[in-house]
Amino acid sequence: MNSITLFNNTLIKLIARSGTESQRQSVILDVGEFGYTTDSNRLYIGDGVTVGGFITGNIFKGYSSNILGLTNVPRPGDSAFDTSRSTLYIYNSGATNNINSWSPVGGFYTAGNGTISINGTNQIQVSALSAYNISTDAIGNSLTITSGRVALSSRVSVDEIVTRTSTNLKLPTNLTLGTQNYRLTAAVVTNGYLRTDAAGNLEWSTANSLVSANSATLTLGKGLTGAYAGVASNQFPLSGNVSITPIFAPTAYTVFTQGLSTVRSSRIANIEHVPVADALAALPTINGLPLVESTSRFDHPASGAYDITTADTFDTGTVVVDVNIVNGTYSYETEENQIIFSPSIDAYVQVINSNTIRVVFYSIATKFNQSDSKLITSTRTIRAALTPGTNSVFTRFSVSIYG
């Protein structure tokens, strides 16, 4: 290999072969020969075979808002930074104003399904999510994906459903409760109840009877009678053939104390005290015993007989009168070697006419003989005493008339 020895005091001026770019493209440079293009300011080196040789270095063309409009023509391998695209490009070949002639350093990246993309200014963008981008494993067992949309599945597993904007939860007409299918077919009825027919249709209906459970017992109150297995009773089980007579509502009702002080009345026109003489004349005996006026010093002065007049008339043959006595214990009186007393007061009702009844409060007096304060003889009934009961503010008489 030919060589030149240079000493430290040797000055050599090396001048490379020069010419224009077009001239370079028609010349074969020798091995190691340099060639310089005067119009593009590039240095090439030859291999003795390749026309024009090989470029020894590329140039950074600088920053440009649009590399496609560069005026200093790049050569393959030159680079330039496009500020509008925020990307460094390397020129390959072809028309410099065609973006396909350039290769971005790093390239553009985009999601294959379009969910995430990088725009022309290298900004990462998240596109609108589609149901197609959601895995079925992510939506649980109460949601499903149908035709690209997320929807409720045919079976929803939930512990509670609450309303969002309304106070009422709207349900469909057809419902399945447990294993039974129902269909609501009728509008709401005032004071009605929800019933089903044989086909499972739900409808609101007016109640015309009240029925308890089969194992329960129905108890009949005042003014109501019933029959079970042919035997009248005020209590019977709800099984077999049961009949109940019509329920009677009171035509009139009153509560009063001794001395005719009316506490409460309903459809009562008048309450009148009956004098002792009139009461004894109209009702001389009770239970076969002569009726006399009580002489107990503990009794109220007024006798216990009252005429009650109702505002409405009633059937004298079917009228039912219920008298309730509260705290009406009869007082006692002492005689020589005797005690006459009765534990309670009873009431006798007499129908006067179609809107008047007479209530007589009485007690059956009983006599005991005594010696040394000990009862030594059996009792014997001596009379029926007309009495309103002990003179107590707690004594009450209530009268209900069922017409």
pLDDT per residue as tens digits for the range 133-153: 777 777 777 888 887 788 888
- Contacts with 180 (C-beta within 8 Å, 6 or more apart), sequence order: 200
pLDDT for residue 8 is more than 70: yes
Q: Could you tell me if residue 35 is left (phi over 0), alpha (psi between -120 and 50 degrees) or otherwise beta? A: beta
Backbone angles phi, psi at 264, to 5 degrees: -155, 140
Q: In the numeric block, which tokens belong to residue 367?
A: 């006599």
The amino acid sitting at 285 is: T
DSSP 8-state symbol, 394: T
* pLDDT tens-place string over residues 57-97: 888 888 988 999 888 888 888 899 988 888 899 999 899 89
pTM value > 0.75:
no
Alpha carbon distance 167, 144 (integer Å) = 28
CB-neighbour burial class of residue 361 (10 A; exposed 0-12, middle 13-18, buried 19+)? buried
Considering only CA atoms, which of 137, 136, 109 is closest in space to residue 123?
109
Alpha carbon distance 6, 403 (integer Å) = 151
Q: Provide the pLDDT for residue 202.
A: 81
The answer to whether the beta carbons of residues 391 and 384 sit under 8 Å apart is no
Flag the least confident range among 17-26, 190-199, 314-323, 328-337: 328-337
Q: In the numeric block, which tokens belong to residue 180?
A: 């039974």
